[in-house]
Structure 1
Amino acid sequence: KGILHRLNGFAQFLQNHPEYHEKVTLAMIVVPSRDTVDIYADLKTRIDQTIGEINGKYSRLGW
């Protein structure tokens, strides 16, 4: 619950605080459940897309 909110919050933090780039990491353990239910499959897709966007925008080699 709240996975997308946490991811979006982390992205906002990175945008607002570039001085923390390469100094912070967000680690979340997320266990997929009910992935055969369409709404949960859609949520997983949105989570994966959000992670990809954050990594694409802020990641660097070694971070």
Structure 2
Amino acid sequence: MLQVDGHSIMADPWERCRTLLEFLVADHALSPPWTLCPSTRDLAVAREWLATWTRTPGIEGWW
């Protein structure tokens, strides 16, 4: 997402952009193939995602 209501958000903090994106997905009741990827700042959670999700067919990084 690069703009909201015609205004660039490219210089905005990541947290604000993420919040705007979450509202966009919720407001429009988007469903697959539109999917908002999960996000975390918790290192343990991120490691668990990397260890388990990369083995799931259909998820990028699976081999």
Interval containing the TM-score (normalised by the shorter chain): 0.3 to 0.5
Normalised by the length of structure 2, the TM-score is: 0.33
Normalised by the length of structure 1, the TM-score is: 0.33
Structure with bigger helix share is 1
Task: Select the structure with the greater relative contact order (CA < 8 A; seq sep ≥ 6).
Answer: 1
Instruction: Compare CA radii of gyration and give the structure with the larger one.
Output: 2
